[in-house]
Amino acid sequence: MESATSTSTPHLERKLGPVMLWGLGVGYVISGMYFGWNLGLEQGGTLGLAIATGFVIIMYLTFTFSYTEMACAIPKAGGAFDYAHQALGKQGAFFTGMAQNIEFIFAPPAIAFAIGAYLHLFLPAVSILTIAICAYLVFTALNIYGIQAAATFELFITILAVLGLVLFFLATGPSVSMNNLRINALPHGWTGVFAAIPFAIWFFLAIEGVANVAEETIHPQRNILRGFGTALITLIVLCVLTFAFSVGVNGWETVVYDPATGQASDSPLPLALGHLMGPNHWQYQVISFIGISGLVASFHGIILAAGRATYEFGRMGFAPAIFGKIHPRFKTPANALIINSAIGIVALFTGKTAEIITIACFGALTLYVLSMISVIRLRKLHPDLERPFRVPFYPASPIIALTISLIALVSITIYNHWLALIYLGILLIAYIWFTFSYKANNDEK
């Protein structure tokens, strides 16, 4: 198999610096501030979701810096898949890579639905599904065009989304009260903490995608750490402020249930603002309009990361070889981007946003568990591997991340057993194909 950096074949180009990586890291995740997380309040109330979010923050802190150690030591487009390939062998690499692909392929359809629902308000003649499909076509095309254009757009739209949150904090801050955070804080008891976990994860889901652009990063051993670290700190601050400033306006029920219909809504920021001002107020309109940038940033960014993950899966012979090809002109994984978008569009037709999010969470948590095992195994198997960055407090950091990830995985399995079976079914079908085709693919290469 030829090296991806060979001059005889098209390869990924190094274009990204630390600022671009910050934009990607925050952009992958920032839609989680704008929609979806508030549904965890319905499950756990203010206290239940707050506790779940606290544990998730600890998980992501320990996970991200443990993951960064591997990303700096093995700067490959496959991210966790490549780390597991060295640490856990072929079988472990397959399940890690599949979990990563499931996370990155199933998260965008949920965001596309949110984009469609938002723009449908301005374009009522166009259906939500049509808008969502158009979003896939536009941003897949942009990602195929080139990493520089895609990352520059991601940086711009991410900065706009962060500014939107800052405007929200300024608008709601004077009305926030601690008393509102105490209203019906634990409506379903302590079990609500576990039920709220997937929605707490949604605050940070996919930040690990920064590692998947390692082969397109200038000086990856140094810049990946900078990008990961600054992005995570930014996201933790935004998460805490978004949670407190939304619920603190008038209690958690205000940012869950639409007053017009009484139904649960996945758009907490407009609901919080609606309690303070009418929909015609300039602040309401500006913040709501900017809100679309948060959705677009995550949608576009995760499509970018997914393309790299699937590309590496194909390049290494774990998926059809066509996925592992680079476009000769644009130097991007065009085939992988196209197949991922096709799967995402099919998922759109199910209309099951919450279920799609949960399947993405299954993939993410499986990835986190196997990645932390990989960190520990790599330290034992390859102690002399050059590690430009070493995770602080080893082995405590990966063990903490591993433990919380396992608890979260068991919890969402208990509350979503049918979706767990679907997730396992996807893994089983893929594994059967892999078992019969891996040798043939490698023989062909």
Angle at 351 between CA 345 and CA 356, to 5 degrees: 75
Beta bridge partners of 217: 16
* Arithmetic mean of pLDDT over the chain: 89
pLDDT of residue 78: 85
The CATH number of 19-440 is 1.20.1740.10
Q: Look-up: residue for tokens 């991601």? A: 154
pLDDT of residue 102: 95
pLDDT value of position 114:
86
What's the pLDDT score for residue 5? 41
Distances (CA, A) of 152 to 139, 219, 383, 399: 13, 18, 37, 36
Distance between CA 429 and CA 60 in Å, rounded?
A: 30
CA nearest to 194, candidates 36, 411, 416, 414: 411
pLDDT (0 to 100) of residue 23: 93
With beta carbons less than 8 A apart as the criterion, state whether 29 and 203 touch: yes
Question: Which residues make Cβ contacts (< 8 Å) with residue 131, sequence separation at least 6?
Answer: 115, 116, 119, 120, 123
- Are residues 41 and 242 in contact, defined by beta-carbon separation less than 8 angstroms? no
- Report angle CA 434, 440, 444 to the nearest 5 degrees: 130
Strongest mean pLDDT among 192-206, 263-277, 292-306, 372-386: 372-386
Is the predicted pLDDT of residue 16 greater than 50, yes or no?
Answer: yes
Q: What is the pLDDT of residue 2?
A: 38
Q: Is 16 helix (H, G, I), strand (E, B) or coil?
A: strand
Q: Best-predicted range by mean pLDDT among 9-13, 149-153, 366-370?
A: 366-370
For the ranges 45-54, 85-94, 147-156, 168-177, the lowest mean pLDDT is seen at 147-156
pLDDT digits (tens, 9 = 90+) for 342-391: 999 999 999 888 788 889 999 999 999 999 999 999 999 999 999 999 99
Handedness of CA 280, 281, 287, 289 (dihedral sign): positive
In the three-class reduction of DSSP (H, G, I as helix; E, B as strand; rest coil), residue 185 is classed as: coil
Instruction: Say what the pLDDT of residue 288 is.
Output: 83
pLDDT at 226 over 50: yes
Closest Cα partner for 138 from 340, 304, 326, 300?
300
Tell me the β-bridge partners of 264: 257
Q: 293-346: per-residue pLDDT in tens? A: 999 999 999 998 899 889 988 888 888 888 888 888 888 899 999 999 999 999
| In the predicted structure, residue 215 carries a pLDDT above the cut 70 | yes
Domain ranges of the chain: 19-440
Q: Is the omega angle on the peptide bond into residue 220 within 30 degrees of 0, that is, cis?
A: no
Q: Return d(Cα 248, Cα 235) in angstroms, integer.
A: 19
What gap in Å lies between CA 81 and CA 127, rounded to an integer?
37
Indicate the pLDDT class of residue 441, thresholds 50, 70 and 90: low
Report pTM: 0.88
CA distances from 354 to 2, 43, 187 (A): 41, 13, 21
R_g of the chain, CA atoms, integer Å:
21
User: In angstroms, rounded to a whole number, what is the distance separating the alpha carbons of residues 266 and 51?
Assistant: 20
Q: How confident is the model over 416-442, as a mean pLDDT?
A: 86
Phi, psi dihedral angles at 5 (to 5 degrees): -100, 5
Which range among 78-82, 328-332, 435-439 shows the weakest confidence by mean pLDDT?
435-439
Confidence of residue 444 (pLDDT cuts 50, 70, 90): low
Residue range 153-174: mean pLDDT, rounded: 94
Q: What pLDDT band is residue 11 in, cutting at 50, 70 and 90?
A: low
| 264 three-state secondary structure | strand
